[in-house]
Structure 1
Amino acid sequence: MSTLTIEKLTVGYGDGAPVLDGLELEVPDGGVVALLGANGAGKTTLLRSLLGLVPVRGGRVLLDGADLTRLSTEDRVRRGLALVPEGRSVVAELTVAENLRLGALWRHRGPAREAAVGQMYELFEPLARRRDAAGHTLSGGERQMLALARALVGEPDVLLLDEPSLGLAPLVVAQLLGVLRDQAEATGLTVLLAEQNVTGALSVADRGVVLSLGEVVADRPAAELAADPALRHAYLGF
């Protein structure tokens, strides 16, 4: 279990104004934190910066007290971070099984790798039925399951997800969010979940964090946040 700490993080693109300006946040170990906010609030930029995909102008990213800020993306992954970006990112030419083996490559070898892949088939039964199908033949829901499974098979300590429910049927969304909640409870996985589906995200989260213009404007228990109509109307649109 790992605690992700973000200290005074300032991030921007090129010479433009910062997208995130002195953002501070702590994601405790073994829980689900829903990262909420309108389009342009900075959710995607935050997730990408945590993995080193966007240059940081100031501040620090810590994992269990260890400073990751100047590490490469590869080193951050080896330290325990994983990102499932928006867009159901899978290797379209590879089969489901090959995608999962690729996700497990640096963490497992031989029989241990196959065992880890088998656990993903237990979590996501549709993938077991389509293990020999190429990624480009999968439905949108199956692709998102595969993207999530490929991240989980590497046994990260902290999982970052960017809009995993986008464009998916409600039943698929419920299954994906349920897996996240179950994994957090069963394995101590720490999850930072950026979502436009506010109701779904808060239903599985321990806490909700609301971003507006690159700043944290609310950080509360999920149930308390969902029950605050003034804050919901002001920042979340419902």
Structure 2
Amino acid sequence: MSALLEVDGLTVGYGAAPVLHDVSLTVEPGQIVAVLGANGAGKTTLLRALSGLLPPTRGRVVFDGADLRGIRVERMVRHGIAHVPEGRGVVTELTVDENLRLGGLWRKPQPSLAPIYELFPRLAERRGHLGHQLSGGERQMLALGRALAAQPRLLLLDEPSLGLAPRVTAQIMALLRDLRDRTGLAVLLVEQNVRSALSIADQGIVLSLGRIAARDDAAALADDADLRHAYLGF
């Protein structure tokens, strides 16, 4: 199977200070790849570079055979890439329904939101509520739902469990696994909750100080006690 996403020798940073150094990875269709590492390892910078928010100093990003260098951020979604940044960013002045419609705004005709409400019954109950009236877990569901409304082939997901109760985290992880299995959605998942991430991932990549320190099947990484203690804190 050919890779959906190919990253080759990516070096990127802020100003003159590089954060990522010569990072290479692939994500295949229908695959969840977990990106793990301590704070400051470069995980969020990686997603920002892949979504076009940070131009690389060096290296290539190829999605479905197309070189993404120079592609405007707002056009990434048309290529089939959706980015859910850390922090559950929703438009707090808009309702749940309006937020979700933003996700599919560029598609003509606009896709039905029924599949999103089936995935997130709680959002269906709250569809007329404003963003600022939602709980943290509901906002994370809304941010995910808005990204999925664009019908992406690759989801870039940054710390979806941050600040959430374990029960809500488990629901989100189960949803990602279900989407992969049912729809073939590929996911590049940045996550501090290492156990949860590895429990649903096919592959894992460990970043340390902006470089790839390890990569392997998710189960093998979870079983490698020395690596876990050295890089993942458990």
Q: Which bracket does the TM-score occupy, shorter chain normalised?
A: over 0.9
How many equivalent pairs are there?
Answer: 233
Matches within 5 A, 1:126-137: 126-137=122-133
Residue 222 of structure 2 corresponds to 226
Shift of 1:12: 1.0
Q: Are 1:85 and 2:85 matched, yes or no?
A: yes
Gaps of 5+ in 2: none
- Contact 2:77 2:150 (C-alpha < 8 Å) held by counterparts: no
Deviation at 1:75, TM superposition (A): 2.1
User: TM-score under structure 2 normalisation?
Assistant: 0.97
- For residues 215 and 77 of structure 1, what CA distance do their matches in structure 2 show? 27
Give the 5 Å matches for 1:89-100.
Answer: 89-100=89-100
Q: How does 1:89-238 map to 2 (within 5 A)?
A: 89-109=89-109, 113=111, 115=112, 117-238=113-234
Instruction: Please state if 1:4 is matched with 2:22.
Output: no
Unaligned runs of 5+ in 1: none
Q: Distance in 2 between matches of 1:53 and 1:130?
A: 31
- Deviations, residues 78-110 of structure 1 (Å, cap 9, x unaligned): 111110000001000000001011111112425
- Give the share of equivalent positions with the same residue, in percent: 61
Moved over 4 A (4+): none
SS of residue paired to 1:19: strand
1:69 offset after TM fit, Å?
Answer: 1.8
- In the TM superposition, residue 55 of structure 1 has moved relative to its aligned partner by 1.9
CA gap 1:223/1:207 in 2 versus in 1, 3 angstroms: same
What's the TM-score, normalizing by structure 1?
0.95
Measure the CA separation in 2 of the matches of 1:213 and 1:207.
20
AA aligned opposite 2:25: L
SS at match of 2:57: strand
Alpha-carbon RMSD across the aligned residues, in angstroms, is 1.2
* Paired letter, 1:48: R
List per-residue Cα deviations over 1:215-237 (Å, max 9, x = no partner).
11111111111011000000001
**CA distance in structure 2 between the aligned counterparts of 1:132 and 1:124, rounded to whole angstroms:** 14
